[in-house]
Structure 1
Amino acid sequence: MKKILLLLVAFMSIVTLTSCNKTPLEKVLKDVKNNHPKTITLSDYTNFKWDEVWIISGSISGRYIILMREHNIDVKKVEKPKRKYGKYQELSKTVVYVYNKKVVYYEFPPDNRDREFSLLGFVEPYALLDFNLERGQIMVVS
């Protein structure tokens, strides 16, 4: 009986840990699909402190890093962007969370890169969560 109880506790721990592994924007996407909210409050989906969010139309790159430096933000965390599937996410938007003028976390909105393939090969990636910004636009939320 104790072995079964221990296995059950271990299983529940694994389920809890893996469900908490989602990025804030993956949590937003799930909530949008399930509940269709009209307003999204990013602080409801994050478990870390931030006081400003930069939503950038395009992947984080030199010019956005320079712009953030001009606003006295420490950008060491984003100087070498994450890679996904062997290449940078050039086609992605970037969401950068800032706390006390220091980047604490950044992420790319979920896309179809790991879900869709065609008979001819890879399908052109598209964002599953889009902020409807024109290329080059930035929205800062605080």
Structure 2
Amino acid sequence: MFISIVALTSCNKTPLEKVLNDIKENNPKTITLSDYTNFKWDEVWLISGSIGGRYIILMREQNIDVKKIEDPKIKYGMSQEFSNTVVYVYNNKVVYYEFPPDARDYMALASEGALALLDFKLERGQIIVVSSNNSVCEVKDGDLVPIKPIKIYENMDEKLK
């Protein structure tokens, strides 16, 4: 019975929580994001900052249906604006989005100081788009660095004002 409870618990984890768990347990040098999802996606948008009105406008300009994220769940109030957002797109529709895990998600770890437990080290206003066909990321001290992004947008916080 214990095994089924563990399996059920691990099924409820988000893709990035699964990545974080794998990094802590196995210390891989690279990970493939598509290995951690149980849904179809064509590309993932790694966005510096909360998915809000400005980024939704950009995604619409790229002909992506963003209805699923019209009103994103804000987990931590104003501080969420400074968190990264990961948006999975399939057939030009948003199918899932999440915020990378941080210490606020794990209250026991909140006393460790730094909030980010998993990060993509994006520059302010940067968006990196990665294909599901090549979603390999290098793991560097808990950070994920996409090896072959298909698009990189710079200074989007300024361009979308």
- TM (norm. structure 2) is 0.72
Farther off after superposition, 29-38 or 17-26: 29-38
Partner of 2:81: helix, strand, or coil? coil
Q: For 1:74-126, what per-residue CA distance to the aligned partner results, in whole angstroms no more than 9, with x for missing partners?
A: 001111111325x26222100000000000000000011142159xxxx6x62
Q: Give the aligned partner of residue 136 of structure 1.
A: 125
Aligned pair partner of 1:95 in 71, 74, 86: 86
For residue 137 of structure 1, report the CA deviation from its aligned partner.
0.1
Look up the equivalent residue of 2:50 and give its one-letter code: S
TM-align CA RMSD:
1.8
Partner of 2:86: helix, strand, or coil? strand
Identity of aligned residues (%): 77
Partner of 1:33: helix, strand, or coil? helix
Structure number with the higher helix fraction is 2
For residue 38 of structure 1, report the CA deviation from its aligned partner.
1.8
Aligned pair partner of 1:61 in 40, 43, 52: 52
Q: Give the aligned partner of residue 4 of structure 1.
A: none
Give 1 or 2 for the bigger CA radius of gyration: 1
Aligned pair partner of 1:20 in 11, 14, 39: 11
**5+ unaligned residues in a row in structure 1: which ranges?**
1-7
**5+ unaligned residues in a row in structure 2: which ranges?**
132-161
Aligned pair partner of 1:80 in 64, 68, 71: 71
Q: Confirm whether residue 109 of structure 1 aligns to residue 100 of structure 2.
A: yes
- TM (norm. structure 1) is 0.82
Farther off after superposition, 67-76 or 109-118: 109-118
